[in-house]
């Protein structure tokens, strides 16, 4: 102890005491920049998924977002490592009556705190509790829905509430490096400066003209100098509704004032397809024989025109059937032979066309292959049997009407069970178009337009002739050349004779009676 034991005691708390004994200022810790992605969102688009796919690591993507990314970059957008499309696993989520994702065994609704796993073999999604209790503990590794066998390594964790690192948006490779796949509209907007500039009023154009004088050669300003071009309408493509410019210009100062209602123009395809009344007929020549196809061009015009146009262009010549599944279907139409390529006749996907009386019923149905709704391109498939579950998912646009022997020979070719690719090559050599109803429709439309133009010309000539005749009739009659040529001498003589025969009053001028104006007084009442 000693006399000096309290020598260092202070009447206040020192800095060291505050820091070490009283929980004072703590050292600066790195701030965690954690942004949570919900389990039902695509890791690339950051939007709720519609067609979920996952990688072997359990990262979930939407099919419509990840396929264009892999085509362009060939990498995993989360880690930046190499990724192939064939390694993706299709997920089969189950929804309850309220439209929420839930476990199909325990019926527990999935949340951001649920432990979710999937079976790599079947793609079915379950809660971890169901798999642990019914598969792992019982050592019965069969899928809880389809009863297909699998191994412990086939289980993939989609969400573990104790480890949420893969849901941190801040660590995503494409977010850090600001890498993205542009939409076709965005690419066009980059190439065309006036892509988003649809209408400009007079003041805007004058302002841009002044700027263009100062900044000559600027492409953006040059593009904005163009006035909007109206599409010409005639009897065939004139709509029953107007363009709406009168009302739009009345309420908006950004538009040039319009005072006349003009009929809007119907799309050219809509007009053309009204004249397509026949079926189309095509023969495809394969290395196993010829197959005759009847196309429902009168009911499914878009897909029919796409197939006939690609056949005429020779797009399918030399392509292979890259997928064949016995008792199901055979698929082709991809020039790359991988199942991921192909372009439509218009170089962009086109919409689905469904008809209640066209279904995948029977053998030899010709239908469009796609990667989701409204993504039809060049790939097609022919069924080996009825597939009614494909209705309203794939567009039926034709059927086989001849060459079933060749179709059977193609079905008998063995395929790889993993990739469904035929072991011996099945090739589409050439395609011959026998009946093209779209050419006939175009010729009919051209003839009707020519007839309409001739009719308008005749009406115009007739109107001009009537106007000329009316003008000739209205012209005054000339009686003699020179001055006074329009005066009728006979009428002048008659007027002079009438004046001579009348009584003459010399020096007396008849006075006009003055009429009293006003009401006067009331004495006459």
Q: Which of 174, 322, 394, 399 is catalytic?
A: 394
Residue 235 is classified by DSSP as T
Nearest to 383 by CA among 362, 403, 414: 362
Candidate list 37, 390, 444, 449, residue with the active-site label? 390
Q: Which H or E run contains 94?
A: strand 94-95
283 catalytic per annotation:
no
Euclidean distance between CA atoms 324 and 410, whole angstroms? 8
Considering the candidates 331, 350, 360, 366, report the single residue annotated as catalytic.
331
User: Of residues 126, 167, 380, 381, which has the active-site annotation?
Assistant: 381
> Does 196 participate in catalysis according to the annotation?
no
The answer to whether 381 is a known catalytic residue is yes
Catalytic residue among 370, 404, 444, 449: 370
Contacts 24+ apart (CB under 8 A), 4-9: none
Task: Using DSSP, state whether 324 is helix, strand or coil.
Answer: strand
Coil vs helix vs strand at 174? helix
Contacts of 319 (CB under 8 A, 6+ apart): 332, 333, 334, 335, 337, 427, 428
Instruction: Compute and round to an integer the Cα radius of gyration of the chain.
Output: 42
Q: How far is CA 446 from CA 126, 257, 440, in A?
A: 61, 34, 10
Instruction: Convert 31-43 into a string of H (helix), E (strand) and C (coil).
Output: CCCCCECCCCECC
Q: What does the DSSP 8-state code read for residue 289?
A: E
| Rounded CA separation 284/277 (Å) | 23
* 323 part of the active site: yes
Q: Which of 245, 272, 322, 323 is catalytic?
A: 323
Among the listed residues 141, 150, 173, 328, the single catalytic one is 328
- Alpha-carbon distance of 516 to 525, in angstroms, equals 17
For the annotated catalytic residues, the residue numbers are 323, 328, 331, 370, 381, 390, 394
């Amino acid at each position: 102890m000693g006399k000096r034991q309290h020598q260092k005691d202070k009447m206040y708390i020192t800095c060291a005491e505050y820091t070490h004994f009283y929980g004072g200022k703590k050292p600066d810790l790195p701030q965690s920049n954690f942004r949570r992605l919900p389990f039902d969102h695509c890791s690339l688009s950051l939007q709720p998924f519609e067609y979920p796919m996952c990688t072997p690591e359990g990262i979930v993507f939407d099919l419509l977002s990840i396929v264009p990314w892999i085509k362009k970059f060939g990498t995993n957008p989360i880690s930046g490592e190499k990724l192939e499309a064939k390694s993706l696993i299709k997920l089969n989520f189950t929804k309850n009556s309220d439209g929420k994702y839930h476990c199909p065994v325990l019926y527990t609704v999935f949340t951001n705190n649920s432990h979710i796993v999937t079976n790599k073999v079947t793609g079915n999604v379950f809660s971890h509790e169901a798999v642990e209790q019914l598969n792992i503990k019982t050592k019965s590794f069969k899928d809880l829905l389809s009863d297909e066998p699998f191994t412990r390594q086939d289980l993939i964790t989609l969400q573990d509430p104790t480890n949420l690192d893969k849901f941190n948006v801040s660590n995503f490779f494409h977010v850090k490096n600001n890498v993205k796949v542009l939409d076709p509209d965005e690419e066009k907007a980059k190439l065309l400066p006036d892509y988003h500039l649809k209408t400009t009023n007079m003041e805007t154009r004058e302002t841009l003209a002044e700027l263009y004088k100062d900044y000559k050669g600027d492409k953006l300003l040059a593009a904005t100098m163009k006035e909007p071009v109206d599409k010409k309408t005639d009897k065939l493509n004139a709509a029953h509704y107007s363009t709406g410019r009168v009302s739009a210009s009345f309420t908006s100062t950004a538009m040039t004032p319009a005072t006349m209602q003009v009929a809007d123009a119907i799309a050219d395809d809509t007009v053309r397809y009204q004249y397509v009344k026949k079926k189309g007929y095509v023969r495809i020549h394969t290395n196993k024989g010829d197959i005759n196809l009847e196309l429902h061009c009168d009911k499914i015009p878009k897909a029919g025109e796409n197939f006939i146009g690609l056949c005429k262009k020779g797009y399918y010549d030399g392509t292979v059937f890259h997928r064949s599944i016995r008792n199901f279907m055979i698929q082709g139409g991809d020039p790359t032979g991988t199942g991921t390529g192909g372009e439509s006749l218009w170089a962009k996907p086109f919409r689905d066309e469904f008809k209640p009386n066209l279904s995948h019923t029977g053998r030899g149905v010709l239908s469009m292959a796609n990667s989701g709704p409204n993504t039809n391109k060049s790939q097609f498939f022919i069924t080996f049997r009825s597939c009614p579950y494909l209705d309203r998912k794939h567009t039926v646009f034709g059927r086989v009407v001849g060459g079933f022997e060749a179709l059977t020979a193609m079905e008998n070719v063995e395929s790889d069970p993993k990739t469904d690719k035929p072991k011996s090559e099945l090739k589409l050599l050439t395609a011959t178009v026998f009946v093209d109803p779209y050419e006939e429709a175009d010729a009919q439309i051209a003839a009707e337009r020519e007839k309409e133009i001739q009719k308008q010309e005749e009406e115009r000539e007739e109107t001009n002739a009537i106007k000329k005749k009316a003008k000739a009739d209205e012209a005054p009659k000339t009686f003699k050349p020179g001055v006074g040529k329009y005066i009728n001498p006979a009428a002048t003589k008659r007027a002079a004779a009438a004046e001579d025969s009348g009584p003459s009053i010399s020096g007396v001028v008849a006075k006009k009676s003055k009429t009293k104006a006003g009401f006067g007084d009331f004495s006459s009442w």
